[in-house]
Amino acid sequence: MDCPKCGFILIDDRWICENCGAEIQMVPDFEPELENSISEVLLNVADEINPGRKEEVPEKTEEIIPKPKLKKVDNNNKLKRYLIITLSILVFLSITIPVSISIYRNNSAPYQISRARVYEEMGDYENAILRIKRADRIRPNDAEIRLLWAAYCFSNEDYDKAVEILLEMISSPRFTWAEKDICYDNIIFIWHMMGKYQEINDLVRASRDESLITEYQHYLSWPPVFGEESGEFNGSLLLELRNNAEGKIYFTLDGTEPTAQSRVYTEPILLEAGDYTITAVFENKFGILSDIVSQNYFINIKKPDSPGVPLSSGRYIEQELIIVDVPEGSEVFFTTDGSLPTMESELYEGPVTMALGYTVYNFIAINAEGVSSEVVTREFNFRLNSDITPETAVANVFNAQLRRGRIVSLDGKAMDEEGYFDYVIDSVIEIAGKGLFYMIYEYYYLSGEEPQRTGHIFAASAFTGEAAHLIYNDLGVLDAINI
């Protein structure tokens, strides 16, 4: 029942409105339909008491028979009895009909829904929810009522309650799949808004419905698929990992659990001789991790012999040539920055001039099947036995360029250009008839770009420090021309 004064929803056994304090009448006002019904009853009673017309009896010629005298009837008493009966009926109707209407309303789902929609239009979702909950108690199996209830909770920003109602509908056998499909759509919309992507993944996968899984595939995180099943292979293996969703695959080679710090799969994994346990996990674009999966592979092939490097690690004051013994049927690749060499690294094609300063060389042999040997490492610290250090040699070339005007400031600013020049020692070379020189490359730096090596090569005498420009003379022989 609503308060007739302010419209507040009343608890059934309260006599005073909690909102405005108005006293509540037990009997509501008549409605027009009720008034018309009562008026019709009164008119019928009046017609019985005072008929509007009497039927005319046709005259007949009959023998007059004397009639006995009858007792006179009191018409006033008859009228009183009619009035008492009529008033009693009216009093009874005035009580029972409004009460019946009130009972009907409290037990009518359509009425409660209509009142809920009125509150919805007013933006009063608290009262709309109270009304729709009454309707749900009357018709608990009505999907329309449940969906309205969830919608009102959502509009009232009670997202958890809205999801709770929809999840209950999904788990109930009372609702059809079409109705449950609406529930799935609304739950996923709410959880996406709340950033609950893991819950979406779990819900859709648990549904086992192919159409739903296809529609919301981008929320799911399925385990990676291996291109080969576990087994033994007589040859190197390029192993593919696949997943049809947007995201990353993390993997390890030793069976440890992959994390965000593990290797990211970007290309087939080369498995050479040995025993591998490949463990992988997929992370979709919402950060949801799949189940971890793994496969075991035993690659039964012989590794090639390791490269032979006769020159030992150590400190050198004279430049040496690094010679490598290449195993038969293999090629040797090497790096000078301490990284693991691969087939993409520099190919050994002959003696390598020892680099100036401290350098870590890694060598590896790779056969025709793509199988790699063990890595061979050498560490060389080469510094000439001279008073002219590499740092002094670079400074002399820099100052010579500053005097010439190629650079205009101590930070290497180029003349008439936006960038800067820098100078880096590459190695020590011997110029016929002139002795040993530090060979120095010039690099051009522009903000936001990778440094580029220019075509100019400079040098500084390892014993006098004098700066020079390296060129090839007319005989095609490298020569140092003083700057």
- The pLDDT tens digits for 276-316 are 999 999 999 999 999 999 999 999 888 899 999 999 999 99
Q: Which is more confident, 67 or 324? A: 324
471-479 contacts at long range (C-beta below 8 A, 24 or more positions apart): 477/432, 478/429, 478/431, 479/431, 479/434
Q: Who's near 357: CB < 8 A, 6+ residues apart?
A: 381, 382, 383, 390, 425
pLDDT score recorded for residue 355: 87
Q: Within a 10 A sphere around the Cβ of 136, how many other Cβ atoms?
A: 19
Q: Within a 10 A sphere around the Cβ of 62, how many other Cβ atoms?
A: 6
Q: Which is more confident, 112 or 58? A: 112
**Chain segment 230-285, per-residue pLDDT in tens:** 999 988 899 999 987 889 999 999 999 999 999 999 999 999 888 999 999 999 99
**Chain segment 143-172, per-residue pLDDT in tens:** 999 999 999 999 999 999 999 999 999 999
**Chain segment 392-422, per-residue pLDDT in tens:** 999 999 999 999 999 999 999 988 788 999 9
Q: What angle do CA 40, 42, 44 make, to 5 degrees?
A: 70
Contact 359, 426 (CB under 8 A): no
Q: Provide the percentage of residues in the chain whose pLDDT is more than 90.
A: 61
pTM, two decimals, is 0.46
Res. 187: pLDDT tops 50: yes
Q: Within a 10 A sphere around the Cβ of 428, how many other Cβ atoms?
A: 23
Res. 228: pLDDT tops 70: yes
pLDDT band at 17 (very low <50, low <70, confident <90, very high): low
Q: Who's near 142: CB < 8 A, 6+ residues apart?
A: 109, 135, 136
Distance of alpha carbon 198 from alpha carbon 221, whole angstroms: 9
Res. 352: pLDDT tops 50: yes
pLDDT score recorded for residue 50: 52
**Chain segment 81-131, per-residue pLDDT in tens:** 777 777 777 766 666 555 555 555 566 889 999 999 999 999 999 999 999
pLDDT score recorded for residue 432: 86
pLDDT score recorded for residue 78: 66
- Which single residue is written with the structure tokens 């309205």? 148
Distance of alpha carbon 186 from alpha carbon 287, whole angstroms: 22
pLDDT score recorded for residue 123: 94
